[in-house]
Structure 1
Amino acid sequence: MTHLPLTRRSARSPLKATIAVAVVCAVAASGAYAAGVGPFDHGSDPLDPAAAAQARAFLADWSHGRYDQAGARTTDPARAEDVLQSFTAGLDITTPKLTPSTARSADDGTLRVPFTAKMPVKGLGTWSYTSQLPLSEGKDGSWKVDWSLGIIHPRLSDKAKFRLEREDAGLPEVADRNGEPLAGDAYPSLQPLLAQFAGEGSSKPSGAIRLIDRLTGETKATETTFGARKKDGTTQGGKADSTAVKTTLDAAWQSAADAALEAEADGRNASLVALRVDNGEVLAMANSPATGFNRAVSGTYAPGSTWKIVTSSALLLKNAVTPQTVVDCPKHLIVGKEFHNVETSEFRGATFQKDFMESCNTAFISLRGKLGDAESGDVARKYFGIGQEWHVGIPSYDGSVPVPKDETEKAAAMIGQGRIQANPLIMASVTATAASGRFHQPTVMPGAKDSTSTTPLPPAVVSQLRTMMRATVTDGTAHVLADLPGEIGAKTGTAEVAEGEDNNGWLVARRGNVAVACVVEQGVTGGGSAGPILHRLLSAVPDAPSSNTPR
Structure 2
Amino acid sequence: MPRSGSGAPATTRRRTPRPVVRTVTSVAVVSAVVVGGSYAAGLGPFARGATEPEPAALAQAHAFLADWAAGRLPDAAGRTTSPTTAQHVLRNFTAGLDIRRPTLTVAATPTQADDDTVDVPFTATMPIADLGTWTYRSKLPLRQQGDGSWKVDWSLSVVHPRLNGVKKFHLEREAPGTTPDVTDRKGASLSGARFPSLSPVLNQLGTGTGGGAPRGAIQLVDRATGKVERTEATFGKKPGRPARRPVRTTLDATWQAAAEKALATGAHGRNASLVALRIDNGEILAMANSPSSGFNRAVSGTYAPGSTWKIVTSSALLLKGAVAPADVVDCPKYLTVGKEFHNVETSEHRNATFLKDFTESCNTAFISLRGKLGNRELGDVAGKYFGVGQKWHVGIASYDGSVPEPRDETEKAASMIGQGRIQANPLIMASVTATAVSGTFHQPSITHGNQDSTTTTPLPRKVVTQLRAMLRTTVTDGTARVLSGLPGEIGAKTGTAEISDEEPNNGWLAAYRGNVAVACIVEQGVTGGGSAGPVIRDLLTAVPTDPS
Range of TM-score over shorter length: 0.5 to 0.7
Alignment of 1:9-20 (within 5 A): none
Per-residue CA deviation, residues 500-527 of structure 1 (Å, 9 max, x unaligned), is 1100000000000000000000000000
Deviation at 1:227, TM superposition (A): 5.9
Larger radius of gyration: 1
Which residue in 1 is equivalent to 2:386? 384
Cα 1:267–1:283, aligned 2, differ >3 Å: closer, same or farther? same
The answer on 1:187 being equivalent to 2:195 is: yes
Aligned counterpart for 2:288 among listed residues 277, 286, 289: 286
Deviation at 1:192, TM superposition (A): 2.6
Which residue in 2 is equivalent to 1:302? 304
Which residue in 1 is equivalent to 2:354? 352
Tell me how many residue pairs correspond in the alignment: 348
Aligned counterpart for 2:343 among listed residues 326, 341, 344: 341
Q: Classify the secondary structure of the residue corresponding to 1:515.
A: strand
Instruction: State how far apart, in whole Å, the 2-side matches of 1:170 and 1:287 are.
Output: 26
Q: Which runs of 4+ in 1 moved over 6 A?
A: none
Q: Is the 8 A contact 1:331 1:344 kept in 2?
A: yes
Q: Could you tell me which runs of 5 or more consecutive residues in structure 1 were left unpaired when the two chains were aligned.
A: 1-166, 206-225, 230-241, 547-551
Instruction: State how far apart, in whole Å, the 2-side matches of 1:193 and 1:454 are.
Output: 28
Aligned counterpart for 2:279 among listed residues 277, 280, 283: 277
Q: Could you tell me which runs of 5 or more consecutive residues in structure 2 were left unpaired when the two chains were aligned.
A: 1-174, 214-239
Instruction: State how far apart, in whole Å, the 1-side matches of 2:379 and 2:392 are.
Output: 17
Q: Classify the secondary structure of the residue corresponding to 2:189.
A: coil
Instruction: State how far apart, in whole Å, the 2-side matches of 1:288 and 1:498 are.
Output: 22
Q: TM-score, normalised by structure 1?
A: 0.62
Q: Classify the secondary structure of the residue corresponding to 1:499.
A: coil
The answer on 1:176 being equivalent to 2:184 is: yes
Q: Is the 8 A contact 2:196 2:293 kept in 1?
A: no
Which residue in 1 is equivalent to 2:204? 196
Q: Classify the secondary structure of the residue corresponding to 2:331.
A: coil
Q: Which structure is higher in RCO with an 8 Å CA cutoff and minimum separation 6?
A: 2
Per-residue CA deviation, residues 300-340 of structure 1 (Å, 9 max, x unaligned), is 00000000000000000000111000000000000000000
Q: What amino acid does structure 1 have at the position aligned with 2:352?
A: A
Deviation at 1:183, TM superposition (A): 1.2
Q: What amino acid does structure 2 have at the position aligned with 1:373?
A: N
Which residue in 2 is equivalent to 1:81? none
Deviation at 1:198, TM superposition (A): 1.9
Q: Classify the secondary structure of the residue corresponding to 1:189.
A: helix
Q: Is the 8 A contact 2:256 2:286 kept in 1?
A: yes
Q: Is the 8 A contact 2:284 2:444 kept in 1?
A: yes
Q: Classify the secondary structure of the residue corresponding to 1:190.
A: helix
Deviation at 1:483, TM superposition (A): 1.4
Instruction: Please identify, of 180-189 and 518-527, the stretch whose mean Cα deviation from structure 2 is larger.
Output: 180-189
Q: Is the 8 A contact 1:303 1:420 kept in 2?
A: yes
Which residue in 2 is equivalent to 1:362? 364
Deviation at 1:172, TM superposition (A): 3.2
Q: Is the 8 A contact 1:276 1:544 kept in 2?
A: no
Instruction: State how far apart, in whole Å, the 1-side matches of 2:208 and 2:455 are.
Output: 29
Q: Is the 8 A contact 2:192 2:198 kept in 1?
A: no
Aligned counterpart for 1:414 among listed residues 413, 416, 426: 416
Q: What amino acid does structure 2 have at the position aligned with 1:285?
A: M
Per-residue CA deviation, residues 241-298 of structure 1 (Å, 9 max, x unaligned), is x821111111111111011101110000000000000000000111000222111000
Q: What amino acid does structure 2 have at the position aligned with 1:195?
A: N
Cα 1:170–1:331, aligned 2, differ >3 Å: closer, same or farther? farther
Deviation at 1:342, TM superposition (A): 0.2
Instruction: State how far apart, in whole Å, the 2-side matches of 1:393 and 1:228 are.
Output: 21
Identical columns (%):
72
Q: Classify the secondary structure of the residue corresponding to 1:460.
A: helix
Deviation at 1:173, TM superposition (A): 1.7
Which residue in 2 is equivalent to 1:48? none
Which residue in 2 is equivalent to 1:482? 484
Q: Is the 8 A contact 2:487 2:545 kept in 1?
A: no
Cα 1:285–1:298, aligned 2, differ >3 Å: closer, same or farther? same
Cα 1:202–1:543, aligned 2, differ >3 Å: closer, same or farther? farther
